[in-house]
Structure 1
Amino acid sequence: MENTEFKELKKQLLSTKKNGYDRPLDQAAMEAYCDGYKAFLDAGKTERLCAAEVIRLAEERGYRPYTRGMALSAGDKVYLSNRGKAVLLACIGERSLAEGAQIAAAHIDSPRLDLKPNPLYEDAELAYFKTHYYGGIRKYQWVTIPLELHGVVALRDGTAVQVNIGGDSGDPRLVITDLLPHLGAEQAKKPLATAIPAETLNLLLGSRPIGGEEDSGRVKLAVMKLLNGKYGITEDDFASAELEAVPAVNACDIGLDRSMIGAYGHDDRVCAYAALRALLDLERTPARTAVCVLADKEEIGSDGVTGMQSA
């Protein structure tokens, strides 16, 4: 077999991997898609925020809430929000569902730090929130970086208060402290997985006291006063709160050639955004109903009422 014939046969029959830039591409369209993805990441740093952003984008494209029993026709665009933490979207196709549907699924939760039910405490005249990690985290990555807090607090009167600390421009940020290098000699001898114990991942909240020198818990009370002034909550309300700490950084371009994206929450929002855009960018009614499932709780086994194992 001639060498040229061999190369041609190899090209036709065998799989060959190519750098994406070696394939035909629309550079402007690719950059626009990535800009949209970065905005999606910045707006949805928790599963609640991500679900809200999905709904906002869907409604801009004509999607409307689905209610059980409502009549649907080909071309209708509907969505269903599951407790504000998971979203299902569908563009109704021309064919009956008996002929099948096209479904894309991804999850919108990411590893993070959750507040414990009674998180607020004071130690050495510093106030902290106790946390418990959600999903698989590399604990050493969460110390000494700016963090923001998002979530919901259910008050005694039944109203839900949205909490956002550190997410807006000019907001203060939170942090988890670590040992200075010259004080961390023993820590440095430990394996990576155990050098930062999980019980030390506590959020530093403040150091400015109120009251007199003889009073106790002055910094804790000062922090609680600030939270009450902004959100109307008391310490007892933390028992009915769902608050999550996430990195206080926005998506950015990585590399001198800007060929990569650095951000919190790539897993699995990179897939969630692609699945969502597949529906939102449909230019005509699909033959089969197109469905996008964006679920919660994947990081801890997909359990719970908003996970993929729920009804």
Structure 2
Amino acid sequence: MTEAADRLVDYLNASPSPFHACETSAKLLDDNGFARLQEYAEWPTEPGRYYLVRGGTLIAWSTEHSDGPATGFRIVGAHTDSPNLRIKPRPDHDSLAWQLLGVEPYGGLIVNSWLDRDLGLSGRVALRDGSGIREELVRVDDPLLRVSRLAIHLDRSMNDGEQINRQFQLEPHWGLDGSAPAFADFLADTLGVTAEDVLGWDVMAHDLQPATRFGHRGELVAGARQDNLATSCAGTYALIEAVDKAPAAPTTQLLVLFDHEEIGSTTDRGAASSLLPTVLERITTSLGGSRDELHRALARTVIASGDMAHATHPNYVDRHEPRHLIAMNGGPVLKINVNGRYATDAPGAAAFRLAGQQAGVPVQDFVTRSDLPCGSTVGPITSALSGATTVDFGAPTLSMHSIRELTGSEDQRMYAAILAAFLSPA
């Protein structure tokens, strides 16, 4: 329990943005014999361990246990993005003596959880590089931003349900009496370039309170971005473990960490893009396969798509399906919805349960109450694009989409163990 939970804490603290999450996973892969490939380059034809990064998306795979191009894939999926506040292109403006930054909410954040927090900045910046462009990651962990809530004395109805206007009341304080620079100047100074070299940014605010073990026995993990970096972390370690084990049947083991799940996935690097299908095709052709062999491989493929699952909240038990209660530290969760909001079907669930038996890990079952709407994730998208058997799963979570979420320490060990077994079935 301790090792897996501490690994997650370290991963969360190293990954304030999707771009940093990819680099955190990339370093782990580098240290375990994976070679980074560029999309524009010709890929090697010999079996090996490889990965690529496109923005906030990472795909890693091993063909060491493949038996030709039609072998089939075992795929674990997750996503790297979380709800946050993104800095607008022209963010600088004043109100009274205050300097404020314009922000746009990204994804379905719980707005009130971002109030009265010390916030830093992270993301990537596009810079002029001669006649071309280069990208650099930026991370500033100084407490530079804060969104201050109104005092209760000025709104006595606040505790009846506070409503925050996202255009006017969610803008963070950036400076007082002219103390702060223009945002582009700040980025330029941080990166050691001129403001004219700053051509664009994908920069966001992040919570400065570190992730940590929580509880009398450290039985919980509290921290930002666990939806869905907990799955990204577990998936990365599971792939590293799995490639060192020969599965019972030949397979190509693959991990995909998508960006942009929280905003619908329809981007150049989201689950609805051509990226994963293209990579699967290129892996097949690098092994000497034809398009027919690609489709034969897909017919043998099983995808486990991971996102976090709602643990049953002890203060709101009535918001959960009464015969499908989810316990924290009770094991990974199969997510099922007959209307296709999750991709899980009987064969996919069976493959996941077998992995649980192989790993000695219990599996829980989640369905949404029949009179409440059900969320969705990347599983149905990847299933539709690939035609592969797909199962949606998650780890029990409280305060999902808050700036600070809660998961179980023991669940982290079980999470990685079941994914390693799924990638290398006995």
**TM-score (structure 2 length as normaliser):** 0.57
Task: Map 1:270-289; keep pairs closer than 5 Å.
Answer: 270-282=230-242, 283-286=244-247, 287-289=250-252
**Equivalent position of 2:97 in the other structure:** 125
| In structure 2, distance between residues paired with 1:50 and 1:299 | 15
Partner of 1:72: 45
Matched with 1:62 is: 33
Corresponding residue SS for 1:40: helix
Task: Tell me the residue number matched to 1:300.
Answer: 263
Q: Supply the distance in 2 between the matched residues of 1:162 and 1:69 (Cα, whole angstroms).
A: 26
RMSD: 2.3
**Partner residue in 1 for 2:225:** 265
| Contact in 2 for aligned 1:173/1:248 (Cα 8 Å) | no
**SS class of match (1:131):** strand
Q: Point out where structure 1 has 5 or more consecutive residues left out of the alignment.
A: 1-29, 210-218
Deviation of 1:285 (Å): 4.4
Q: Matched residues in 2 for 1:61 and 1:131: separation? A: 39
1:116 paired with 2:91, answer: no
Tell me which structure has the larger Cα radius of gyration.
1
- For 1:145, which of 86, 97, 117 is the aligned residue? 117
In 2, Cα distance between equivalents of 1:256 and 1:43 = 25
- Quick one: distance in 2 between partners of 1:224 and 1:80? 30
Cα pair 1:51 1:87 within 8 Å, conserved:
yes
Query: SS at 1:39's partner residue?
Result: helix
Q: 1:272 to 1:163 in 2, by over 3 A?
A: closer
* TM value normalised by structure 1: 0.77
Q: Distance in 1 between matches of 2:157 and 2:80?
A: 38
CA–CA separation in structure 1 for the residues paired with 2:180 and 2:238: 48
Shift in CA distance, 60/223, structure 1 to aligned 2, threshold 3 Å: closer
Assess if the C-alpha contact under 8 Å between 2:145 and 2:173 holds in 1.
Answer: yes
Q: Deviations over 1:222-280 (max 9, x none)?
A: 7776555434454994x722111121121111111210000111111111222211111
2:151 aligns to what? Answer: 180
Cα separation, 2, equivalents of 1:298 and 1:233: 34
Which of the residues 82, 89, 104 maps onto 2:76?
104
Identity of aligned residues (%): 25
Are 1:253 and 2:213 counterparts?
Answer: yes
* C-alpha deviation, 1:78, in angstroms: 0.5
Instruction: Specify the alignment match of 1:165 in structure 2.
Output: 140
2:176 maps to 207
- Residue 123 of structure 1, CA deviation: 1.2
Pairwise CA distance, 1:137: 0.8
Show the counterpart of 1:49: 20
Shift, 1:295, TM fit: 0.5
Q: Verify: 1:240 aligned to 2:203, yes or no.
A: no
2:9 and 2:213 in contact (8 A); partners too? no
Gaps of 5+ in 2: 275-426
